Each structure stands twice: as C-alpha cells, then as structure tokens.
Structure 1
Amino acid sequence: MAPESDSPDAPRVVATGGTGPQADPSSAETDPSGVPFSELTPAILRTQRTSLKWTRFSADILPLFVAEMDFTLSPQVQQAVISRVLASDTGYLDGPGELAPVFADFALTRWGWQVDPSHVHLATDVSCGIVEPLRLHVPSGGRVAITTPVYPSFFEMLEELPVEIVQIPLIQTTVPATVPPGIEARLDLAALERAFADDPGIDALVLSNPHNPHGLLHSPADLAELARLAATYGVFVISDEIHAPLTHRDHVFTPFAPLAAAAGALSVTATSASKGWNVAGLKCSVVVAADARANQLLRRLPPEVTTRVSILGLHANIAAFRDAGDWLDRAVAQIEANADLLAELIADKLPGVAYARPHAGYLAWLDFSQAGIGPDPFRRILTEAKVALGKGTAFGAGGEGHVRLNLACAPDTIRQAVDRIAALVAQAQGQEQTQNGALS
C-alpha cells in the first residue's frame, strides 16, 4: 500500500486495508471512497490535478464543463494501477485478455446482456472505438447520422473521416407543470426512418445510449424499432454506451447489441470504465460485436488499435468492472443526491430555467432560453458568473440556449455555482424589468 504524503497539497491515496480509521464511504459528507468533501473543493483540487478541467480556465472560474468526476478514484482501481507500476508492467498489449470475460460478467449481472468474450476487442478510448469501425465500413463520402443535441466530440471524431454528418434532432419538449420545469426527450424515429430511406440514405448511425447530455435512457421499444429500421435500410449502428454503468437506481439501461442481433442489424458497442470510474486518462476501452457478422468486421481492425491501448488502463478497467461495484453504487447514489439538490436550487433560485434530470450519468442539461440572460447563456455565465459549463450550441441542433452542468462533485460546489448564476439571472431580470418600466 502506497503511503500518503505529509503535504496538505498532495493527492490523496485511499487506503484499501484496515490499517487505520477511515471515513464512512456511505456518509453524505464524503465521496464514494470515504474522502470528506471538504478535501475535494475546487481550490484544493486545482492544486492537485493537472487535467484540462483544472488548467483550461483561471482559478476564479468554477469548472463544471467537462465530464470528469471530482471524486477520488476507487481504492480498487488505485491499487490495480499501483501494483502494475510496482511490477514494471508497462509494456504493449496484444488483446483484451482477462478484461473480456470480466466485462461480459459485468454486462450480464448489471444489464442481462450475454456477451461472448470472443466478441470483445480493445481500443484506446471510446472515440477510437467509434472512428475505427466506421473507417472500415463506411465508404469515403458516406453519410453518418447523429441524434442531436449530443456529445460534442461526435462532431470532432467524425471529422477525422471523409464522411458527411447528418444531424437528426431528438424530440425535445418542456414540461412546465413540474418544479422546476422539466425537459423530456426521445429519439425521433419517424425522422430517422425518413433519413434512412432517403436517396442518398444513411450509411451509419452513432447512437448515444444513454444519451449525453440529457442522461436519457432510451426505451426498449424505441431501441427495438431503431434496430428494425437499421436492419431494413442497411444502416450500421455504433452504440456509445460509456455512461451505462452510471444508470441511476430504479431505472433500467437497455443495451443496443441484443436488439440489433435479434433484428439482424449490423452493430457494435463502444464502452469503457472511463466515465463510471473516472479513468479516462488511462486510455482503454472495449468494442463489442453484437453478433458474428459484426465480429468479422472488428477482426479487421488494424493491430495498432489494440497496441496503443494503455496496459495500466486495461488493469484499471478490470479492477473497476470486477471489484469496484460498491464504489460505483455509492457514486450513483451521490450523483442522484446532487441531481435532487440541483432541482431544489433551480426551483428556488433560477426562475425560468428548465432541467432535464438525468436518469444515467452525472450531466445535467439546462435550458436558459427563458431565463433572461440572452441567446448565449454559456458566455454570460462564464464571463459574469465565473462558472464554466458545457456550451449548448457545441452539442448541435437543438442545443441553442442550453448549457450542460457536471454533477459529479461536492454538493457545495453545486451550491456555489447556482448562487453565482442566480446572481447573474437576478441582475439581468431586474434590468429587464427596469427597462420595461421605463418604456411603459
């Protein structure tokens, strides 16, 4: 076990053995590893961490824009990485090894998905797991659909390929009767079928499942119909299921692969422990074939897709999927509590803001179009409230007037962010009332 540093600025290494008193990891005052939230404030984390979350903006900005957790890594993941470093096990990989059956066990236990371990392949990250199968299957100049507003990196990764990006917006509706007003969304299956049947049609669809930024769990019926349409029109579906481990309690995630296989649609799934256990920087993901036909496609992936995977990431993924389920459950419980807290704060302090409460993941999608701070809420919130959120227009069609907020942090961080934004909204609405009074 690695010793903790005496320096107050040193990153925390969570003990895994019973060598001393530890905080209760189920406590409302601690993160999933039992680290007090008082040790995970933005001011402290900025001195310890070096990812873009903590370096992109100045120290006076609260960073809630990128999908990284503030929580401490699970002890199981920490020790898996430390043990590999101590063993000098830092070479190249030739395949998924133990990760394939470990992921298959997790998928069966959590989602009822029977994965053939021989259908599990490695990729550096989920972006690579999307781009490389598309590179194999979609012809130059082909058309790839995405359902917007969606993860902005879909646009960036598809620009690596000579393809046309086709945006097919979700059906988004505001529910004014809820407090705060809610946002509901679902796939526009009619629009998808029109695009599939068009001339030229669609060669492939990149599906966000669960959907980012809404935290939307697509219904089994919608996914089954999508699979039928994909089979009918010969559309290759790559399902990005990176947020699936973070499905909230009392909700059910539906993997796309079994439905695709049943319908005869060509499909692969790209996923990783990277979001569920916050190990994106360790660079390892899996690409899973829905059936034997899809597996033949994945067998054609260049060898470098595997050898560029980090061996430390592989062992972190094994530890996460096999040993860190309890940590994941505590993380989900804290995210749900933070989602409830955000709803209360919006209802109390942010009139006019609508909220898509996530049912998976830790990202909150907020509609500021009726809040009185103009058409670009991201910019005003960043420059005047000093809070960095995800910019809605970066998510494509349907993202105008919206922002995305990260919930995987200490509750006080969310309170601070809302207080800052509420002051901006109150000032803007007060100015509007003054102007309207002067005109009347």
Structure 2
Amino acid sequence: MSKLAVCKLAARQVALGFAVINLLGVAGCATQSATADAANSQQANHGVAAQVGVRPLYLVDDLDDGALKDKLQQCAAGPFYRSEFVISHRGAPLQFPEHTKEGYLAGARMGAGTLECDVTFTKDNELVCRHSQCDLAETTDILLHDDIAQQCRQPFSPADLASGKPAAVQCCTSDITLAQFKQLKGKMEGANPQATTPADYLAGTPAWRTELYQQRGTLMSLDESIALFKQLGVKQTPELKAPMVPMPFNGMTQQQYAQKLIDSYRKAGISASEVLPQSFSLADVRYWIEHEPAFGQQALFLDEGSNSEQFDPMLPSSWRWSMAELKQQGVTTIAPAMWMLLTVNADGEIVPSRYALEAKKAGLKIVAWSFERSGPLANGGGWYYQSVQQAIHKDGDMLKVLDVLAKQVGVSAIFSDWPGTVTYYANCMEL
C-alpha cells in the first residue's frame, strides 16, 4: 500500500471513530503531503477536504447490484478530498447559477481540483465569465434592469399566445460595459417562451433544478475569477468562447482576444502549469501552441462532433480530423462530449468507442464533458448519452458511464455540473 493510501486509510478510520495504528506517524503523513508529494499536485490535493453531500450515495443506491455498487458503497463514510480528476463545469449549475462566485465556491467545496471560467467580452472589450456571449437573458436578471435591457441586441418581444409565436429576446455581453455587467445577478439557466412580460420570461428553470441558491448570483469578470481560484488553490481552465459578433470587434481581432486571455493569467502571476486553456476552435489552440507554448502545450481542444450530421464515433471517416493530424499540429489533449467516447457492444455493455481508442492510440490525453448535465436519465438519458441510450435506464446508470470513462477510456479528468459526485467516485477509486 502506498504512503498516500495509508494516510487516507488512517483519516477514514479516524472519521469512523476507530483507533488508528500509526503506521507512518501523524508527522509522516503531514510530511508526505507537504514535501514528497509537493511536486504532484494531484496527490497534494488529497489533503484538501471535500464535502460531497448526499447525492453521490443517492446515485449509488440506484445502481444495479454488482461489483461497482459494492465498491462504491464501501466508501460511504469518506473522508473525501479534492481531486484534479474533477473539473467544475461552469461552477455547480445543477443547483447554483452558472459562472457565479457562489457556484464556483460550491464546486471547489465539493472537491473540484480545477474550476472553469467560460470567457467572452463586453462592449468595452473586458473579459467576463459567461457560457455564451449572448445568453444574458437566460442566465441573468438583465431584463429587470430597464436601462441596461434596452441596450440588448434584440429587446424583449412578448409571446403572442393567439398565434403561438414565442417570446423573443437576445442580450449579449458585447451589448453592455463591464460596469453594467457587474450590476446584473446570475440566475438558473432557463427561459419561458410563453412569457408576455420580461419578468415572466426569466421564470424558466427546469423542474429538476432548483432556484434555492440563486438569491445572490454574483457575476464575475475573468480577473475576479482568477483571483478567486488562486485563493482557493485550484487549477484554472478558461474556455475562449466563439464570438457572436463580427471580428475584429472594437479593434480587437480574434488573435488579440486569444492573447488577451493568456495575458490575464500572466498579469495575475499564475503559472502556465496551473492553466488549461480551452477552445472549440482549432485555430485558437494552434495560436496558443505557436505563440504561448507554455500554455498551449496543455490546451484542451474541445470537440462536440456536431459539425457533421453524419458524425459517428465508430466511423473515422465522419470525423473532422484524424487523431494523428491533431497530434501533428501540436494538440496534446482532446476534450469531446461523453457520448463520443462510448458505444454499446453486442452484449449490451458500455465500452470505449473507436473515437476513444484512436485518441489513445495517437497519444492524446482525453478529458470528457459534461457529467450531471442531463437531469434525470429515464428513457436513454438525452444528448450526452446518445451513443449508449439503450444501456441507460435510470439515474444510477450514470455511474456506470463514469466507471467506463475512467477505467476503460482512461480520461484524465471530467467536467461535472455537480462535482461532488465525481469527487466521491475519484476518491473511492483512488484516482
């Protein structure tokens, strides 16, 4: 047994109230965490306590009987620690407004070793955390700020219930200044297409989420997120979002936009080793590889497979690029949607897809997204489970997917909308 495993076992026994035989000594465990493992941040993160809550065990209870359920049940008592296998996707948007300070804190407290700020820009070219440049009407209370809402690209238009015409509105960060952005409050993502008033439009939270934690919803600039993440001691993964306005914008080109993101981390004194920049644009990733190699060498090239209606994770001819081509262009990590990495074999078992096997063969690291994004998994689980839907019948099945991604696909990390679940799994499996 490794020293790390012994320390974790000792901590678990203490939590259960057992007398612990001091195999290493308290000082030995502390020294291991502070010195021998200092160069390995993943191991060092095991010393940061995490609170996973009751949801992981709710899912474990829902698993079919078998070895996976038995193993996960054995870890119920904890304790649990931060893990770099866990990336907090937009914070903790299963229950907290996305890209808010409160959501980020929840993600870190649930054990995410890396936090994400999706990066876009305001009218005055300041960088802010938002999943899409033009999602403000669905993720903030902008429509309650009359003076700011009137600047929206498409002001609110009420639904015409007689004709069936839905409500329409589009509000972009590029419509407003950073100062105006900071006046807004984050809310749970959603909208009511039948709304006849701006206030009613905001009332569209899916029933399987909650509005219990959206009372503050503190929005953040990229610089503010960098400072918070540094304070929390986590790695940072900014995603350069595709502009929804013509570039250049107010004199800023796409390359300047990509560079501005990196410059923000330099200015804050964040080491490149602590930053995992991401983009769906291969051109952005290649820019970082060429001009900022310390950052670019660990950039995540995101892939959703949807640029081709014929995309099939089992058919390489349907992919936009071969894995070898990506490797030749300097890409080190590919980050596809979960379903692209999976298929179902003749026995009805979830197994790695050809896409996953080819990525591994090419020597690419793999990061998957996004766990706990789909809500309840009845009837096949939706978009994120589309390649394995015949094997998805209930919520507990998501842990089967996670187990295959971790053990057979070999992903190095996974984005999660509720990090506590993946933290529970990662600790139990000693990832």
TM over 0.5: no
Q: With structure 1 as the length reference, what TM-score do the two structures score?
A: 0.28
Structure with more contact order per residue of length (Cα contacts < 8 Å, sep ≥ 6):
1
- TM-score, scaled to structure 2: 0.29
